[in-house]
Structure 1
Amino acid sequence: MDRTHSPINSILEQAAYIARRKKETAGTLEPTESYKRGQTKELIDFAKSNNLWISLSELNVEFLSKGGENEVYTGNKDNIVIKLNNFEYAGDDLENFFIRINAHNKLFGNVPYQMIGFAYNSQQEFCAVLIQPYILAEREATEDEIATYMKALGFEMDYYDEYHNSEYEVFDVVPNNVLYGIDGDLYFIDTQIRTRS
């Protein structure tokens, strides 16, 4: 599963470039609903031609949970969480997914995502395969702890689970998406982020 020495320097950056390029090529000739379909096809071709398919049956993983966009597994020996993300929250443009992952890594670098390839989930949906460190948590963070942390990062609160600064909007920042680690740090493991228009 270690793709550090993959011929692809950064799968995330390459995939983001493919999604952006496909959208730019389509331009205004195609309705936005077709962006995602074309981007998905390009990413499937990218995965095939670069041997980036991951089979969960070949990995020593255990199912943890399923949410709106992720099936989550743990790699027992690697202290990681594996997320199969079906791009559900990207809307009609997969570039939104890559923007979100890059923004997450910039804002919450203590629990970064790394993209290691592609797979089909249990519903046979095309997914990005992401890994994150497995966080040893004492508990979920409280709303007050989250608000204090976000304020320290320069964000203003719009609603109890939504924040913004001049560049990003971060939402779905609820206690079950933010863990209070045994080291006393907060870990934002599953928020939604978009650029401000």
Structure 2
Amino acid sequence: MKNVKDELQHIILGDEPVGRGNQLKKTQSFLRANEKTSFKLEKQQHLKSEETTALINFAKKENLFYEPAIHKTDFISEGAEQKVYQFDDEHVIKTNAGIFYETWLDYFNSLLIHNYFFPATAYTFLGFKEIDGALHAVVMQEFILNSEPTDLNAVKDFLRYNGFLNKRNNDYYNNDVGLIFEDLHDENVLSNNGVLFFIDTVFYITPDFYRHP
């Protein structure tokens, strides 16, 4: 898994220039720089409000607020962490307050990792929106229809083949890369004509991710 780890380290830790077309990486780079200058790693869980304030200021400066209205008539579904709306015939948009993550940086890292592993359902970051007084990220994703129920044993086999071992229930880990991969129930992984599509993922980076062999 060395090549995978090297590639992901480059994506997460890289400082390559980013343009208007890659607002996801631009925002993640800001959050990573903000962490280095403003936060101590062991105290991040207590400082998400300060991180959010910095992120709002950054979003205003970079025009990263999503201005179009999100209509209730377009609502499709919701989970614990996000709401899903129809965008067009081929895409949905999702609003997420990042509640599954201790920091916004963790959330944006998870998006980048998802896009690396699952390009067919990659997230496009559209911007931020304040909803009911809380900051939400707005992302767009391919709309996937499931043609049959998802076989969770097939999910387990697929992930085992790719180095992720089942820890408990629908949670997995990859010690070689240093990733935890959680919440893979049958609403977050869809099956269409026997092909698995991972549409809602939660990745966490462990300290092993930053270690070199």
TM-score by length of 1: 0.84
In 2 relative to 1, CA 59–196 (structure 1 residues): closer, same or farther, beyond 3 Å?
same
Quote the residue 1:102 is aligned against: 112
Deviations 1:94-130 (A, max 9, x none): 2111111111111222211111111123x33101111
Q: Which among 155, 159, 163 is matched to residue 168 of structure 2?
A: 159
Quote the residue 2:83 is aligned against: 71
Deviations 1:158-181 (A, max 9, x none): 223122222211111111111001
Assess if the C-alpha contact under 8 Å between 1:143 and 1:160 holds in 2. no
Whichever residue aligns with residue 42 of structure 1, its letter is: A
Whichever residue aligns with residue 196 of structure 2, its letter is: L
| Local SS of the residue matching 1:55 | coil
Alignment of 1:1-197 (within 5 A): 8-28=20-40, 31-57=43-69, 62-77=74-89, 79-91=90-102, 93-121=103-131, 123-165=132-174, 166-167=176-177, 168-182=179-193, 184-197=194-207
Whole-angstrom CA distance in 2 between matches of 1:32 and 1:170: 21
Deviation at 1:141, TM superposition (A): 1.2
CA-based RMSD of the aligned residues comes to 2.5
Whole-angstrom CA distance in 2 between matches of 1:108 and 1:31: 31
Q: Percent identity between the aligned chains?
A: 27
Gaps spanning 5+ residues in structure 2: where?
1-18, 208-213
Deviation at 1:34, TM superposition (A): 4.9
Deviation at 1:47, TM superposition (A): 2.0
Whichever residue aligns with residue 86 of structure 1, its letter is: A
| Local SS of the residue matching 1:81 | strand
Deviation at 1:9, TM superposition (A): 3.5
Whichever residue aligns with residue 195 of structure 2, its letter is: D
Whichever residue aligns with residue 129 of structure 2, its letter is: A
Whole-angstrom CA distance in 1 between matches of 2:93 and 2:50: 26
In 2 relative to 1, CA 71–58 (structure 1 residues): closer, same or farther, beyond 3 Å?
closer
In 2 relative to 1, CA 57–87 (structure 1 residues): closer, same or farther, beyond 3 Å?
same
Quote the residue 1:3 is aligned against: none
Residue-pair matches, total: 188
TM-score by length of 2: 0.79
Assess if the C-alpha contact under 8 Å between 1:75 and 1:81 holds in 2. yes
